[in-house]
Structure 1
Amino acid sequence: MHPPHRLEIRGLTKRFGPVAAVTDVGFAVEPGRVTGFLGPNGSGKTTTLRMLLGLVEPDAGTALVNGLRYRELPDPARTVGAALEANNFHPGQTGRDHLRIYAAMIGSPDSRVDEVLSLTGIWDAAHRKTGGYSTGMRQRLNLATAMLGEPPVLVLDEPTNGLDPEGIAWLRRFLKEAAAEGRTVLVASHVLSEAAQLVDDVLVMHRGRLLAAAPLTELAAGTTLEDAFLNLTGALA
């Protein structure tokens, strides 16, 4: 079991010129559960995640991992496993070589490479160059990279992109097991029907603002997650 790590977002705000990307967003993500960070493309999810990971400086507010900003963490890459894009691979490298380089960077042993290849179901493709990987295979390699440091926190942006139904079922099992081990799991997605199969708790973003934060069973009680979202956004019209 992993020691509990809590994510806390407080009043995050970010503008890009005239565009208000994120406005006064605040929420908490608890360990032991899979939290869906949901909303259409352009709703501010990725900008919020990038602020959490110290890749974008907020205009206001804070994003904390166990009370610390990402850049203040003593071992950030082994505390937060992040998978934001599934295309950050050199096309001429094999999957195993990509993982070995990243493992060396964060201080994980080579033996961990084989472990994450098996964990994510891409052992048979480890010797192939990533330029020949399908989108779904890239997603799995991205997740394998995030898991190299055995992090207590997982932050995933659109992990279902390119996955077939079997792959989504596999991802659901993977995330549930990660949460059951005590990890804090935050998953951003714009595909609400797929996200509803993956998460325990829901954060709903729309036009840079947080509209709701609740357990999935409460938010979508008696309806679908898509209809719940439409009800929330319709109240703003």
Structure 2
Amino acid sequence: MRPPHRLEIRGLTKRFGPVEAVTGLTFDVEPGRVTGFLGPNGSGKTTTLRMLLGLVAPDAGTARIGGSDYRDLAAPAHTVGAVLEASNFHPARTGRDHLRVYADMLGAPAARVADALALTGIAHAADRRAGGYSTGMRQRLNLATALLGDPPVLILDEPTNGLDPEGIAWLRRLLRDLAAEGRTVLVASHVLAEAEQLVDDVVVMHRGRLLTAGPLSELTTDATGLEQAFLRLTGAAA
């Protein structure tokens, strides 16, 4: 039986004019694991995520969440929490009020606002205006917004942007805790050294195509880091 919230990508392909953004992409993302979706900028990661979330129509192939297209999910905001790009927060609105607005839109209980603030470590700044937040604080508020629906699937694009080393360590703990609860966590990043600290499994793209997918431990078995493994793979693919 299929795990209820596995992500399944099959033969996914997308062109923009003459550009092959994604070609024949196939991989799975399993619940209970933190999966790194890795590759340099322009490798097709964000396009893939946008197809998974129904924001871009594929030319071929499928991208499914627990066997369903995103558009067919009964309660998408309570199934998938996603952060694809930095939100434009109303600068005069506090972090708490920002979350209250989104909670009302999602039909999430009011208590979930406090839960999301606590989970992301910004409860102390909840009543400050979001316009004064640092880049790292904005990242945390984005994540808090994604968690409002208590979703079993979390999809994050470049979540370490703006985080200092302490923030990256905090994010690693949070994502592992969420995965330990049985959630499916997919994290896209082009910063391989940072991603290596966050993930259990990897899906590596290069020029719109899959290079490799599997446990991080298998990719780095020879004691080299993820960056060295990526260079070895891209050299073999050249």
Structure 2 counterpart of 1:127, which letter? Answer: D
In the alignment, structure 1 residue 212 sits paired with structure 2 residue 212:
yes
3-state SS in 2 of match to 1:235: helix
Counterpart in 2 of 1:20? 20
Contact 1:4 1:182 in 2 (8 A): no
Counterpart in 2 of 1:127? 127
Report the TM-score, using the length of structure 1 for normalisation. Answer: 0.97
Counterpart in 1 of 2:138? 138
Counterpart in 2 of 1:10? 10
Q: Give the whole-Å Cα distance in 2 for the aligned partners of 1:177 and 1:4.
A: 19
Equivalent positions of 1:172-191 (< 5 A) are: 172-191=172-191
Equivalent positions of 1:72-151 (< 5 A) are: 72-151=72-151
3-state SS in 2 of match to 1:202: strand
Contact 1:8 1:65 in 2 (8 A): yes
Q: Deviations over 1:131-163 (max 9, x none)?
A: 111110011001100100000000000000000
Structure 1 counterpart of 2:226, which letter? Answer: L
Contact 1:8 1:28 in 2 (8 A): yes
Identity %: 77
Structure 2, gaps ≥5 residues long: none
3-state SS in 2 of match to 1:205: strand
Counterpart in 2 of 1:46? 46
Equivalent positions of 1:158-169 (< 5 A) are: 158-169=158-169
Structure 1 counterpart of 2:71, which letter? Answer: R
Counterpart in 1 of 2:194? 194
User: RMSD across aligned C-alpha pairs, in angstroms?
Assistant: 0.9
Q: Give the whole-Å Cα distance in 2 for the aligned partners of 1:60 and 1:229.
A: 27
- What displacement does 1:220 show? 1.1
3-state SS in 1 of match to 2:124: helix
Counterpart in 2 of 1:234? 235
Q: Give the whole-Å Cα distance in 2 for the aligned partners of 1:189 and 1:102.
A: 26
Structure 2 counterpart of 1:30, which letter? Answer: E
Q: Give the whole-Å Cα distance in 2 for the aligned partners of 1:236 and 1:65.
A: 30
Structure 2 counterpart of 1:5, which letter? Answer: H
4+ runs deviating over 3 angstroms: none
3-state SS in 2 of match to 1:9: strand
Aligned residue-pair number = 235
- What displacement does 1:4 show? 4.1
Contact 1:113 1:148 in 2 (8 A): yes
Q: Give the whole-Å Cα distance in 1 for the aligned partners of 2:86 and 2:209.
A: 26
- What displacement does 1:124 show? 1.2
Structure 1, gaps ≥5 residues long: none
Contact 1:35 1:186 in 2 (8 A): yes
Structure 2 counterpart of 1:197, which letter? Answer: Q
Q: Give the whole-Å Cα distance in 1 for the aligned partners of 2:186 and 2:149.
A: 17
Structure 2 counterpart of 1:214, which letter? Answer: G
Counterpart in 1 of 2:153? 153
- What displacement does 1:54 show? 0.4
Q: Deviations over 1:48-79 (max 9, x none)?
A: 00000001111111110010000000000100
